[in-house]
Amino acid sequence: MSNNMEQQFKYFAFISYNSKDTDWGKKIQKKLEHYRMPATICSEHNWKRRPISPVFFAPTDIQPGGLNEELQERLRASRNLIVICSPNSAKSEWVGKEIEFFHNLGRTKNIYFFIVDGVPHSGDPETECFNPVVNTLGLPEILGANIHERVHRLPWLNRERAYVQLISKLLGIEFDAIWQRHKRLLARKIAAFTFGALVVLAALLGIWKNSQPFDAGVRLNEASVVNVSLPPLEDAVVTMTLDNETKSDTLRTIDSELIFNNIPHKFLNKQVHFNVSCRDFIDVDTVVVLTRNTVLDIRRNPSVYGDIHFYIWNPDKEEFVANAEIMIDGHEVVSDADGLVTLQIPLASQKSSYVIETSTPLKNNVVTMPCGENDVVLTK
């Protein structure tokens, strides 16, 4: 195919089809006009990388109809005629007229058939894919590129093979000269598509996973000095606030874990408000970053077992005992003028009860914690 021959025609090819096969016409036009030939073959024949262009397809220029002067002019200006063959086009009067007109131009050898449906030479009007004008004009034996030819197991690969057959016939080159390269390009495209699909799938799975509700575990950590002589944590009520919703549960021991189920994913790694209430411990009111395993610090209230206060009362004299020297767990203290004894024990040394030692005999020499506001120790 020389440059001089290309310049004689406005169109490389004219596509003849029945309106019911319009989609196939569009596909073929796109395939042909966008097909890139190997650089070595283009250099050998002095072709462009996309040598099959332009291709005339009626919907892109004029509406199909009778063979008026304008349509006849398009046929005259086309080097090749591509007939989309199907039972639809076999019954089409206009497809027959286009074939006949192109034949009369003396370009019978430039008529190419692309079979998209039906059976060649079946003789059955319902399945025959060749227009009757083919026999009427006595056109040479034709096979045509057939998308349903079962050369490969995969139907789409057979379609690709038919496209390449048509291209090789239009350009007058050996089929294998471009088919092997075409298959390699298809393999690379499939690999790229598969990789891209896997990347998209992984992203979608990530988005899906990240949009699912999650279960949030909550544990407590005693951040104060741990004193094994004191009663352990029991029945801590933990409350979590999410926007306008609150969730509460009870931790029975310091070693157990709470699970708040079905937390909206939007709260993961976001700041959330927590309250913790537990006997013997300071109430917690804090904002922390919520994770799947959140740990909240809790501290023992040092006043519960460390704030000792009681009165010494002499029932015989019916008066409080002032200025009494007292020893409590190794700590010296003196009752005040009202008979009140007060003492603060450091958390590390605290106990649930303390022995009272004094020179004045007592009816009960043990003070049990925590002390009440009016606790009284009686003398004998």
Does residue 292 sit in the same domain as residue 307?
A: no
Does residue 24 sit in the same domain as residue 165?
A: yes
Last residue of a domain, one of 300, 332, 358: 300
Q: Is residue 208 part of a domain?
A: no
Question: Can you give the three-state secondary structure of 189-258, one letter per residue?
Answer: HHHHHHHHHHHHHHHHHHHHHHHCCEEEEEEEEECCCCCCCCCCCCCEEEEEEECCEEEEEEECCCCCCE
Does residue 94 sit in the same domain as residue 72?
A: yes
Residue 108 is part of a domain; what is its CATH number?
3.40.50.10140
Q: Is residue 201 part of a domain?
A: no
Q: Report phi then psi at 138, rounded to 5.
A: 65, 40
Place of tokens 């390449």: 164
pLDDT of 5 above 70:
no
3-state helix, strand, coil in the chain (%, to 5): 35, 30, 35
pLDDT of 152 above 60:
yes
Does residue 242 sit in the same domain as residue 121?
A: no
pLDDT of 262 above 60:
yes
Mean pLDDT throughout 41-63? Answer: 80
Residue 288 is part of a domain; what is its CATH number?
2.60.40
Mean pLDDT throughout 228-251? Answer: 94
Which of the pair, 136 or 8, is modelled with greater confidence?
136
Judge contact between 84 and 25, C-beta under 8 A. Answer: yes
Write the CB contacts of 21 (distance below 8 Å, at least 6 apart in sequence): 84, 86, 88, 89, 116, 117
Q: Given this model, what pLDDT does residue 108 score?
A: 93
pLDDT digits over 216-228, tens only? 999 999 999 999 9
pLDDT of 325 above 60:
yes
pLDDT of 6 above 80:
no
Mean pLDDT throughout 317-332? Answer: 92
pLDDT of 360 above 90:
no
Does residue 250 sit in the same domain as residue 314?
A: no
Q: Is residue 92 part of a domain?
A: yes
Q: Is residue 231 part of a domain?
A: yes
Distance CA 370, CA 373 (A): 10
Last residue of a domain, one of 138, 157, 173: 173
Specify which residues 111 forms β-bridges with.
81
Distance CA 94, CA 20 (A): 13
pLDDT of 249 above 70:
yes
Does residue 14 sit in the same domain as residue 149?
A: yes
Q: Is residue 345 part of a domain?
A: yes
Does residue 372 sit in the same domain as residue 267?
A: no
Number of domains forming the structure of the chain: 3
Last residue of a domain, one of 120, 145, 173: 173
Instruction: Place 7 in a pLDDT band, splitting at 50, 70 and 90.
Output: very low
Does residue 151 sit in the same domain as residue 289?
A: no
Nearest to 56 by CA among 73, 69, 35, 37: 73
Q: Given this model, what pLDDT does residue 67 score?
A: 72
Q: Is residue 355 part of a domain?
A: yes
* Domain boundaries, position 262: 217-300
For the chain, give the mean pLDDT. 90
Q: Report phi then psi at 232, rounded to 5.
A: -70, 165
Q: Name the least confident of 54-58, 65-69, 177-181, 288-292.
A: 65-69
Does residue 169 sit in the same domain as residue 249?
A: no
Does residue 150 sit in the same domain as residue 236?
A: no
Instruction: Place 14 in a pLDDT band, splitting at 50, 70 and 90.
Output: very high
Q: Given this model, what pLDDT does residue 45 score?
A: 84
Q: Given this model, what pLDDT does residue 144 score?
A: 82
Distance CA 361, CA 378 (A): 9
Write the CB contacts of 105 (distance below 8 Å, at least 6 apart in sequence): 75, 76
Q: Given this model, what pLDDT does residue 3 score?
A: 42
Distance CA 249, CA 20 (A): 68
Q: Is residue 124 part of a domain?
A: yes
Does residue 237 sit in the same domain as residue 261?
A: yes
Judge contact between 29 and 124, C-beta under 8 A. Answer: no
Residue 247 has, within 13 A of its CA and on its CB side, a CA count of 15
Q: Is residue 19 part of a domain?
A: yes
Which of the pair, 268 or 4, is modelled with greater confidence?
268
pLDDT digits over 115-144, tens only? 999 998 898 989 999 999 999 998 876 778
Does residue 11 sit in the same domain as residue 102?
A: yes
Q: Given this model, what pLDDT does residue 134 score?
A: 92
Question: Can you give the three-state secondary structure of 107-144, one letter per residue?
Answer: CHHHEEEEECCCECCCCCCCCECCCCHHHHCCCCCCCC
Q: Report phi then psi at 152, rounded to 5.
A: -115, 160
